[in-house]
Amino acid sequence: MSEAERDGLDGDAGQQASEVVDGSAPAEGAAASARPPTPESKLAEVQAEAARTRDQLLRTAADFDNFRKRTRREIDDAQRRGRETTLKDLLPVFDNLERATLHADTASDVKSFAEGIRMVIRQFTDTLDRMGIKRVPAVGHPFDPTVHEAIQQIESTEHAAGVVMAEIQPGYVIGDYLVRAAQVVVSKGAPAAPAGSDAAN
């Protein structure tokens, strides 16, 4: 190869290199990336995003289900422990009541037997008090529909109208929560004077 031919080849190579450096030569990669996305590629992207979202939803649902089951177990355990504690507190009262019942037939002194029953009742009341359970005030108090259940109204000269004059069944509250309303008899007040009584006097 002659020196002139070599010079020509070197010149062509230098020109191609300068075109690549200057960016004047067409770049196939750049042209490919500049092409707009096809419907197929868009569909693939949407499907991939949908799969990721479905995955996240499934994981969230599984986490929530585990949380629900764990919470249910904790509530059940708390209720069971509460029942056990209540039973342990009330068992001594029941034991004493059972002893009193066993001695009822052989008791020679009715007064002492009655006093024993009253002691059991006091023990029961004290136990309820320690548990935060209070008896609803009834006799002598104004009728309160939030804690009282009126089963009868009777005229009374001893109690003003609207006042509880008798308790049929006691009620109980725990704090502000009503466990059972007290069944009571409410006074209607003094009976009305017969018509014409003033004129007769």
The pLDDT value given to residue 190:
85
Averaged pLDDT of the chain? 81
Same domain, 126 and 139: no
**30 located within any domain:** no
The pLDDT value given to residue 185:
96
**22 located within any domain:** no
Total count of domains within the chain: 2
Q: How far is CA 54 from the centre of its chain?
A: 31
73 three-class SS = helix
CB 93, CB 131: distance < 8 Å? no
186 three-class SS = strand
Same domain, 148 and 81: no
Higher pLDDT, 86 or 27: 86
Least confident of 11-15, 43-47, 48-52, 123-127: 11-15
Band of the pLDDT at 35, cuts 50, 70, 90? confident
Same domain, 75 and 92: yes
CB neighbours of 190 closer than 8 A, spacing ≥ 6? Answer: 155, 156, 157
Nearest-angstrom CA–CA distance, 35 and 32 = 5
Same domain, 98 and 110: yes
Q: Domain range for residue 81?
A: 42-131
In the predicted model, what is the mean pLDDT of residues 114-126? 89
Least confident of 55-64, 110-119, 136-145: 110-119
Same domain, 103 and 144: no
Same domain, 47 and 72: yes
CB neighbours of 113 closer than 8 A, spacing ≥ 6? Answer: 100, 103, 104, 107
In the predicted model, what is the mean pLDDT of residues 77-82? 89
- 182 forms beta bridges with 148
Same domain, 171 and 126: no
Same domain, 106 and 187: no
Half-sphere exposure in the Cβ direction for 163 (13 Å, CA)? 13
Name the pTM for this structure: 0.56
Same domain, 164 and 183: yes
**2 located within any domain:** no
Nearest-angstrom CA–CA distance, 86 and 109 = 33
- Number of Cβ within 10 Å of residue 149's Cβ equals 14
Nearest-angstrom CA–CA distance, 153 and 189 = 9
**33 located within any domain:** no
Band of the pLDDT at 1, cuts 50, 70, 90? low
Same domain, 112 and 165: no
